[in-house]
A and B are shown apart, each in its own frame.
Chain A
Amino acid sequence: SQKIEQNSEALNIQEGKTATLTCNYTNYSPAYLQWYRQDPGRGPVFLLLIRENEKEKRKERLKVTFDTTLKQSLFHITASQPADSATYLCVLTDSWGKLQFGAGTQVVVTP
């Protein structure tokens, strides 16, 4: 069965450091992968999309890598700030074309 795995434990990080989140998947052959951010009591918000032929993508302080051989994506927040505290969701498109969300990893950035 298709599975998306994200670290279930919260990532606690000091302000200014780089937070790195991992997304591993099985039984997917995704043409692209997405990352969303979700704040408590809010809906998920799209952050980045990376295609299978792209190794790396950046947006401001965010960086995403996509390794289709390892079946893994890494999501980096550089120079983290308390405002980056949220849950980050890895999203893949399944074989039917539907978006499937990982369970998410909570990031807590402390001053």
Chain B
Amino acid sequence: DAGVIQSPRHEVTEMGQEVTLRCKPISGHNSLFWYRQTMMRGLELLIYFNNNVPIDDSGMPEDRFSAKMPNASFSTLKIQPSEPRDSAVYFCASSLAHTGGNIYFGEGSWLTVV
């Protein structure tokens, strides 16, 4: 299996621009997670989906962030407008269940907002 695939791997954008991060989970996994990692706050869960339905988005920092999962093989995380404090590594992960068990991470999208 190819694992969780994320794109882009690196993105540098100007403040105020829209950023869209993409994720393809492992085939057959029914749960998908978006995490953000920074030195200050570590790994934070932003949102997770089960069977393409958002279950908990309480970790989404504010209305500038939105996530969608139109089908079982694709999800996006969008930031509009982006701000310098959004600079972080954004990880997508998937698993067979949204509670319990191990999850599989992608390689991350490194976002820098200048």
Question: Footprint of B on A, CB under 8 Å?
Answer: 31-32, 34, 41-46, 49, 89, 93, 96-104
Contacts and interface: CB of A to CB of B under 8 A. Distances in A.
Contacts, number: 42
Contacts of B48: 98
Contacts of B103: 46, 99
Contact of B91 (A43, A96, A98, A100): A43
B99 to A, nearest CB: 3
B28 interface: no
B72 interface: no
Interface residues of B, number: 19
5 contacts: A42-B107, A43-B108, A89-B43, A99-B45, A101-B43
Contact of B104 (A34, A46, A49, A97): A46
Contacts of B101: 49
A103 B38 CA distance: 10
Interface in B71-103: 91, 93, 98-103
Nearest to B97: A97
B106 interface: yes
B100 A96 contact: no
A31 to B, nearest CB: 8
B90 to A, nearest CB: 10
Given A43-B91, A97-B100, 5 more contacts: A42-B107, A49-B101, A98-B99, A99-B103, A103-B42
Complex A-B, nearest 6 residue pairs according to Cβ-Cβ distance, in ascending order: A43-B105, A97-B99, A46-B102, A101-B43, A103-B42, A44-B105
A98 B50 CA distance: 12
Contacts of B107: 41-43
